[in-house]
Amino acid sequence: MLVEPDRTAQPLISPLRLTVVIPAYNESPTIEDLLQRVIDTPFDKEILVVDDGSSDGTRELLSEFDGQCGIRVLLHEVNQGKGAALATGFRAATGDVVLIQDADLEYDPKDYPILLRPIEEGKADVVFGSRFLGGTHRCHLFWHYVGNRFLTLVSNTFTNLNLTDMETCYKVFRSDVARRITITSKRFGVEPELTAKVARMKCRVYEVPVSYYGRDYAQGKKIGPMDAVEALWCIVRFNLFG
């Protein structure tokens, strides 16, 4: 059972309305905990969960939460990939700010205040939450770290942004920016696609440190070596060909 936060004890810290877009595929062990953590954040918000054809009971769990505490559940009948789920969520978003949240508890919603602050202060159009700027993080999967830094470097050479973590889940957009982005990548190529498109739009991009509690493959991590190859191609594709 999901519980509304105590608004008297934790007043809203922003007049902006937040849309949290959560792509979910086979996340039954974590989805309820994640939703409660998002609900507990001190923001006026809608929570859009896009079930991307789950087959492990995630969809059945979400049906119980739909309509509670600002949650709307959107369904894909077959698995299409993270990019397709985000495209569905972006189209349905009604908030002033759109924030991407993975469903696997690798990223902590307690970081929302630091993610939103540059937009609240009128400094940024887009904010990236970096795992490599000093936040608490689990030390494991060295070659994933190397791959992430390499892909970020290649992306930066095309976009001329000095990001430290292009592949981060935590990307936050002013809604007017989100509405101008048409997501075409179906899978994890969506990360370089979003980065290339905000750079092309000349958005004011800020980066802030966030915590990271990485999973390993035994815990359900889904991204693999072929996704890195796809991401490399997407960096070239979306920066050179739009």
pLDDT in tens, the chain (242 residues): 666 655 444 444 458 999 999 999 999 999 999 999 999 999 999 999 999 999 999 999 999 999 999 999 999 999 999 999 999 999 999 999 999 999 999 999 999 999 999 999 999 999 999 999 876 767 666 877 888 899 999 999 999 999 999 999 999 999 999 999 999 999 889 999 999 999 999 999 999 999 998 755 454 445 666 777 888 999 999 999 87
Residue 192 lies inside a defined structural domain of this protein: no
> Whole-angstrom Cα distance, residue 54 to residue 3?
24
User: What's the domain count of the chain?
Assistant: 1
pLDDT digits (tens, 9 = 90+) for 212-223: 987 554 544 456
Q: Is residue 87 part of a domain?
A: yes
Tokens, residue 66: 């739909």
Q: Is residue 91 part of a domain?
A: yes
In a domain, 242, yes or no: no
Does the residue 230 lie in any domain? no
Residue 186 counted as domain residue: no
Please give the single-letter amino acid code of residue 76. H
Give me the residue label for tokens 């739909």. 66
Domain assignment present for residue 65? The answer is yes
Give the sign of the dihedral formed by CA 106, CA 174, CA 16, CA 61. negative
What's the pTM? 0.89
The CATH number of the domain where 131 resides is what? Answer: 3.90.550.10
208 domain-assigned: yes
Which amino acid, residue 29?
P
Q: What is the pLDDT of residues 85-140, one digit of tens each?
A: 999 999 999 999 999 999 999 999 999 999 999 999 999 999 999 999 876 767 66
Whole domain around residue 80: which residue ranges? Answer: 18-144+165-181+202-219
- pLDDT confidence of residue 11: 40
Helices 142-159 + 190-200 axis angle, to 10 = 30
Q: Which residue has the tokens 């990271």?
A: 212
Given this model, what pLDDT does residue 9 score?
42
- Helices assigned H by DSSP within the chain: 31-39, 58-65, 82-92, 112-120, 142-159, 175-178, 190-200, 225-240
DSSP secondary structure code for residue 212 in this structure: B
